[in-house]
Amino acid sequence: MQVAIVKLIIEKEETAIDKARELILQARQQLADEATKNQIVELIETILLYKFTRLSREELEEMLGIDEEFKKTRMYQSIKQDGLEEGRQEAKLEAVPRLLLLGLSVEQVAVALDLTVEQVQQAAENQSS
């Protein structure tokens, strides 16, 4: 199975999804250790995410048929957490110009939003551009 997983890296796109499904099914059927099984599935998913960069995570999940299983993986949790953190940061930066318009100083905005003074200044400059 290990060699087949490595071969998935160079598998043609036309056959990679089917091959990945086979490998995931094989891992689920043959491996008793749940942690190892999850690591194998995670590795296969990672290979496919790199291979099919034009596909969204949802499209890849649908193609593999592992919606709920995928959501339990460390990779999914990590991607989700990164996205949440990026969204929070973006929301903070979008709030900067409005807070400055309300009369708060750059330092007050930085403290209120838990940003550095430089980040607040950069966000203000980007908004005015």
Considering Cα of 95, then 96, then 98, then 104, what sign does the dihedral take? positive
Q: Is the pLDDT of residue 123 over 80?
A: yes
Mean pLDDT of 42-71: 77
| Domain residue ranges in the chain | 2-72, 86-128
Residue 109's pLDDT is what?
Answer: 92
Q: Is the pLDDT of residue 128 over 70?
A: no
Global model pTM greater than 0.75: no
Contacts (Cβ under 8 Å, ≥6 apart) of 25: none
CATH of 86-128, one of 1.20.120, 1.25.40, 1.10.10, 1.20.1250: 1.10.10
Confidence of residue 108 (pLDDT cuts 50, 70, 90): very high
